[in-house]
Amino acid sequence: MLLEVRDLHVEFRTRDGIAKAVNGVSYGVDAGRTLAVLGESGSGKSVTAQTVMGILDVPPGRITGGEVLFEGRDLLKLKEEERRTVRGAEMAMIFQDALSSLNPVLTVGDQLAEMFTVHRGMSRRDARARAVELMDRVRIPGARERVKQYPHQFSGGMRQRIMIAMAMALEPKLIIADEPTTALDVTVQAQVMDLLADLQREYDMGLILITHDLGVVADVADEIAVMYAGRIVETAPVHEIYKAPAHPYTRGLLDSIPRLDQKGRELYAIKGLPPSLTAIPPGCAFHPRCPLARDVCRTDEPPLYQVGDTRGSACHFWRECLHD
């Protein structure tokens, strides 16, 4: 496995007490594969990713347990200096908001070129040529001219391509894309997602794609991990989860996707809100919102039950959900 997160725990000290943002998350991705991490806002998707990348703010964050194995080596045990070498060269991250991740006073060409001068010791001239190549590769029309422009001169979709180019520059083995298309309109979303999927295949990278939108992952992901209140509640190959979810929360997410073939149908919404992470409900954290909940759910926390050979569900009643 290229990346394997094992039983990760991350907390934040807040005014209301300890917020358990990540509560025993385990997931993994192989080279050439895409793992989609799905869940409502506040479920711990980004904090898990930041911990993997080594960019978690400590404090207020605190890693209280677990391992992040990258090619078998636990990144949590590395010194910050070693960590920095891994970041960028071996793994890179793409964020939702390109405008705040790019430097507004440098041309995009200079920012791309800097990857090569700083990390690869290239001459400025060679680095500039590579910057144009990269912009071509992420399909920015007129790269030779546009390399001299500043981030604000690009549309949202084009800026996201520049972020992808920056992440790809050193040909990392793993890319984590945290809601890379959330800020874009639907057509541009699809184009950026296609680009990311093409590059991932071409370079045989592992890709972790974080999103709150099940609709965007169907065509690009191999596996899905669904998060709720800092835990993984379901993991499965993507086609299986679409066929039949084994967790009521996943079912709720699936039922809330707008579908072209059911125009006019009222969209389902999961009732209620995710819990505060300083006061996660006992038993199954989803029980206050779950249509299948019964007494045992309020007292006994479900483990991640093995469902067949390839799936897991943290629901006492996964059978019922699966065959419903």
| 55-71 b/e (C-beta count within 10 Å ≥ 16 → b) | ebeeeebebeebebbbe
CA distance 55 to 49: 9
- Element (H or E) spanning 138, and its range? none
Q: Which is nearer to Mg ion, 23 or 46 (CB)?
A: 46
Q: With beta carbons less than 8 A apart as the criterion, state whether 245 and 322 touch.
A: yes
Q: Which is nearer to ligand SF4, 138 or 315 (CB)?
A: 315
Residue 59, preceding bond cis, omega within 30 degrees?
A: yes
Which of the listed partners (Mg ion, ligand ADP, ligand SF4, none) does 311 bind, with a CB threshold of 5 to 8 Å by partner kind?
Answer: none
CA distance 239 to 219: 9
Paired sense of beta strands 206-211 and 34-38, if any: parallel
Shortest spacing between CB 183 and Mg ion, in angstroms: 12
The residue from 28, 180, 245, 302 that contacts ligand SF4 (CB under 6 A) is 302
The residue from 286, 304, 307, 312 that contacts ligand SF4 (CB under 6 A) is 286
**Residue 316 found at the interface with ligand SF4 (CB under 6 A):** yes
Strand partners of residue 5: 27, 68
The residue from 46, 160, 181, 189 that contacts Mg ion (CB under 5 A) is 46
Q: Which is nearer to ligand ADP, 17 or 282 (CB)?
A: 17
Q: What is the dihedral of CA 122, 126, 131, 134, to 10 degrees?
A: -90
Shortest spacing between CB 178 and Mg ion, in angstroms: 6
The residue from 54, 66, 245, 248 that contacts ligand SF4 (CB under 6 A) is 248
Shortest spacing between CB 68 and ligand ADP, in angstroms: 15
Q: Which is nearer to ligand SF4, 242 or 305 (CB)?
A: 305
Long-range contacts of 80-88 (CB under 8 A, 24+ apart): 80/54, 83/54, 84/54, 86/54, 87/53, 87/54, 87/55, 88/115, 88/119, 88/170, 88/172
Shortest spacing between CB 119 and ligand ADP, in angstroms: 28
Residues with Cβ within 8 Å of 118's Cβ and at least 6 positions away in sequence, in order, are none
Shortest spacing between CB 45 and Mg ion, in angstroms: 5
Q: Which is nearer to ligand SF4, 92 or 304 (CB)?
A: 304
Binding site for Mg ion (CB under 5 A): 46
Binding site for ligand SF4 (CB under 6 A): 247-248, 284, 286-287, 290, 292-293, 297, 302, 315-317
